[in-house]
Amino acid sequence: MNASGILPGISLVARSPHPVEGIEAVVICPTFRRPDHVLKTLQSLKAQETVRRFAVIIMENEAEGREGAAVAAPLFEAGDMQGMVVIAHDRGNCCAYNAGLQTALQHYPDFRHVLIIDDDEVADIHWVERMIAAADRFGADLVGGPQHPVFVNPGKSRFEKHPVFKPTHQKSGLVPVLYSSGNLLIGKHVLQALDQPFFDPRFNFLGGGDSDLLSRCAAKGFKLAWCEEACVYETVPERRLQADWIRARSLRNGVISTLVEKRKRAEEPFGEARTFAKSTALLAAAPFRAARDVAKGSVVTGQYRLYIALGRVLAHFGYQNEQYRQPEKN
């Protein structure tokens, strides 16, 4: 622990004057070179209509420029936002998430839930209330919700039905799987039951650390739920609608699927071989499944199936598309 009372690899930039006792939830938000948008994210959190007391932790992951921390810190120092701004010195989204979770555990003794939102998202005005209410209603340990795309170019709204942008579930209730940390609630008791680091740094620049974490939680028997009404809205820049970005993201999702399954089956007899067999079977079936999608008028879904299956197989031969290595292209 350093002189400011923060854990190694994390340094304090700003702290609000509010008491930490009685905080029911902590919202963590990593930021990296999005100073304008992180202010929009904070504005949406300040506007929350909820009876819950919650704090916000901003984890700046650009240790040199610190643009996000620079614009966020005055809001916390003035008491306009309750919580903290910290620097997560180790680069990568998993390291940033871990810094936020560790800070929450260290500084907020009474919280029951952590909620996660990204710095390219804004929260619905009832987001905090609905996520926590869903955890209570469904007896769930983790809750996910939809990340609705908001396209910078409104003329590209047709992309909202693309599998890359479409939410995993469409109905509230208990679910077998969750994949994303972009709109997620995790019970404190879940964190206390997991080994650290919570998010595996091997996924720092590939993505998929959230899928891996959620897979491990499900394997431990924790209940997962979906809250369709607890929405966040993700700003989608023009570059994410380009064919090469969508292709790379689709292949990446296939790679992540294999890596998560390999870890899940690591202790099983012939687990690696079974995962490879599944990957090759999916690749063999992909053209036929894609043809059915095309026949139904959904060419993009058919292409997505092909790329997912190809990414799964390529992962067995060491292929990884680390999109987050070049943030300016992500």
Give the angle subtended at the CA of 52 by the CAs of 105 and 97, to the nearest 5°.
35
For each successive 10 residues of the chain (330 residues), what is the average pLDDT?
72 96 97 97 98 97 96 98 97 96 97 98 98 98 97 84 89 97 97 96 93 96 98 94 89 92 88 92 90 81 90 91 73
pLDDT at position 290? 84
User: Which structure tokens are listed for 257?
Assistant: 């699927």
Helix axis angle, 299-315 relative to 271-295, nearest 10°?
A: 160
The number of residues making up the chain comes to 330
pTM for this entry: 0.94
- Give the position of tokens 């995790």: 186
pLDDT at position 76? 98
DSSP 263-298: HHTTTSTTHHHHHHHHHHHHHHHHHHHHHHHHHTT-
Residue 317 per-residue DSSP state = T
pLDDT at position 312? 93
161, 89 in Cβ contact below 8 A? no
Per domain, the residue ranges of the chain are: 10-237, 244-329
**Closest alpha carbon to 119 in 166, 80, 61:** 61
Q: Residue 252, Cα to own-chain centre: how many angstroms?
A: 15
- Homologous superfamily of 10-237: Spore Coat Polysaccharide Biosynthesis Protein SpsA; Chain A (3.90.550.10)
Gap between the terminal Cα atoms of the chain = 34
